[in-house]
Structure 1
Amino acid sequence: MTEKRVVRPYGDTTGDGMVQVSFTLPIPHGPRADGAAQQLANKMGIDPAMVVHSKPMGPDFTFFVVYGSVNHVVDLEKVKVVEREYPLLPPTEVNSTVKKLLRRKLVVVGGCIGTDAHTVGIDAILNIKGFAGEKGLEYYRELRVVNLGAQVSVPELVKRARSEKADAVLVSQVVTQRDAHILNTQEMSAAFREAMGDAKPLLIAGGPRFDPLMAGELGVDRVFSRGTTPGEVASYLVHAIKEKKAMVAA
């Protein structure tokens, strides 16, 4: 079957354009608030728009769920994403490949840089307890993990990565006020380039507000966004180290 190039949202019947959106307005709950929500939905291109749920959020705010139809279509040929170009490997295969490639443990240094104190994401990837039913990188026998935790300064990260002879550095950024996640990551990548040049480790950034397409802008080798599992990161590390060794050999 040939894949469709242009698609529309699906609600009750194929291609009917039905969507459901939710938002909050700074208006007390009531008929006026519902009318404002419907007007906003119409301006968003939802027509007709039905306010199917509204709920007060304190005395001055209202939360809405709006259901309706849009005329917009999606051109699949214009969708730009980063496709995974490497296979997902089980831990046993990650371990055996690392052992074969490096003849030593692969060293991973990770942490939250800047003033970011949200370690849930980096811990989900690094700690043995893992995430989404997968154990973290500490579980892998041929990986040595150094988790620096929260609020790590860039100079401290570079110094520790050098002393640990890191093969890869993972940084997590959740705080996003005034694009702090972007600026912090760019500062980090620039510091590694200045300190280590081509000998720098793999630089990997992760966080819910990152777009995987931003790797070049951030100066890192890979960007992982929300929902990433430890197995995806471990498989990427094997893939990237293998490619790096192949380039050196060539």
Structure 2
Amino acid sequence: MSIVRPYGDTTGDGMVQLSFTLPIPHDKRAEGAALQLAGKMGMDPAMLVHAKQMGDGFTFFVVYGKVTHLVDTDKVQVVERDFPLLSAKEVNAAIKKGLRRPLNVVGACIGTDAHTVGIDAILNLKGIAGEKGLEYYSEVSVTNMGAQVSVPDLVETARAKKADAVLVSQVVTQRDAHLHNTRAMSAAFREALPAGKRPLLIVGGPRFDELMTGELGVDRIFGRGTTPREVASYLVHALIASKS
């Protein structure tokens, strides 16, 4: 079946739960405003299940209600993984055979973004979810520049290290900062290096749309839940396997 409806209490009942914040203090009028918003979003009937004041003049709400919208799963667009997942041993062997030198990776959080958890999870030896980071791979040379790195510094380091790939993590998304920073980064690399000399540009973060690679000028976007093994496998696919 390609047409589906949300499930809440019983199959196909169309029930959904939604949370949001309104810039008003918590009182009866605020609760009515939350239900009005839910109604305008197509929830009918809508029930207020939680309301709590969040500091001065802000209230957090959770509403529960029925929608009539249907989802056609045949029309959903996603980026499917188009490369095999390799073990660390297979990654190292492929790099050794294909490049005959270490694969150079430079990683950073750019702009004012100070959240290094994502980039550290991919690069650092400790890794994440039971997988060791790229520092564990004997044929991968990692330079982790950390947080709040300027785009010019990233470009210069990538050039100095002769980077094969640049990994950028962006968590801060206020006013689309992650998109602006990524566009600035890709434009800087295009300006600084000719097409054949540019490293692979990869960005990751929980709010990226994986379909936006062309629009942002990067080679790959990784979303939430990405593991070091996936990134390592993609590097082998993009830099070695697809060119052999």
Does TM, normalized by the shorter one, top 0.5?
yes
Counterpart in 2 of 1:213? 211
> After superposition, what is the alpha-carbon deviation per residue over 1:36-88, rounded to whole angstroms, capped at 9, x for unaligned?
22221111101111112222324533222111110001112221111111122
**Whole-Å separation in 2 of the counterparts to 1:145 and 1:181:** 23
Counterpart in 1 of 2:129? 132
Counterpart in 2 of 1:141? 138
TM-score normalised by length of structure 2: 0.92
Could you say what secondary structure the match of 2:193 adopts? Answer: helix
Question: Which stretches of structure 1, 4 residues or more, deviate above 4 A after TM superposition?
Answer: none
**Whole-Å separation in 2 of the counterparts to 1:63 and 1:181:** 25
**Whole-Å separation in 1 of the counterparts to 2:59 and 2:172:** 26
Counterpart in 2 of 1:33? 30
Matches within 5 A, 1:19-30: 19-30=16-27
> After superposition, what is the alpha-carbon deviation per residue over 1:86-106, rounded to whole angstroms, capped at 9, x for unaligned?
122222222222222212211
Among the aligned pairs, what percent are the same residue? 73
> After superposition, what is the alpha-carbon deviation per residue over 1:151-191, rounded to whole angstroms, capped at 9, x for unaligned?
22222222221221211111122333433322222222222
Could you say what secondary structure the match of 2:192 adopts? Answer: helix
Structure 1: 5+ residue stretches without partners: none
**Deviation for aligned residue 1:17:** 0.7
Could you say what secondary structure the match of 2:240 adopts? Answer: helix
> After superposition, what is the alpha-carbon deviation per residue over 1:86-145, rounded to whole angstroms, capped at 9, x for unaligned?
122222222222222212211101112223222222111111111222211111121110
**Whole-Å separation in 2 of the counterparts to 1:50 and 1:105:** 58
Counterpart in 1 of 2:96? 99
Counterpart in 2 of 1:231? 229
Counterpart in 2 of 1:116? 113
**Whole-Å separation in 1 of the counterparts to 2:230 and 2:66:** 37
* Distance change in 2, residues 1:183/1:23 (3 Å): closer
RMSD: 1.8
**Whole-Å separation in 2 of the counterparts to 1:141 and 1:231:** 14
Letter in 1 for 2:238: A
Task: Tell which deviates more after alignment, 218-227 or 56-65.
Answer: 56-65
**Whole-Å separation in 2 of the counterparts to 1:185 and 1:85:** 23
Among 186, 192, 201, the alignment partner of 2:189 is 192
Structure 2: 5+ residue stretches without partners: none
Between the two proteins, the alignment pairs up a number of residues equal to 243
Query: Residue 15 in 1 paired to residue 5 in 2?
Result: no
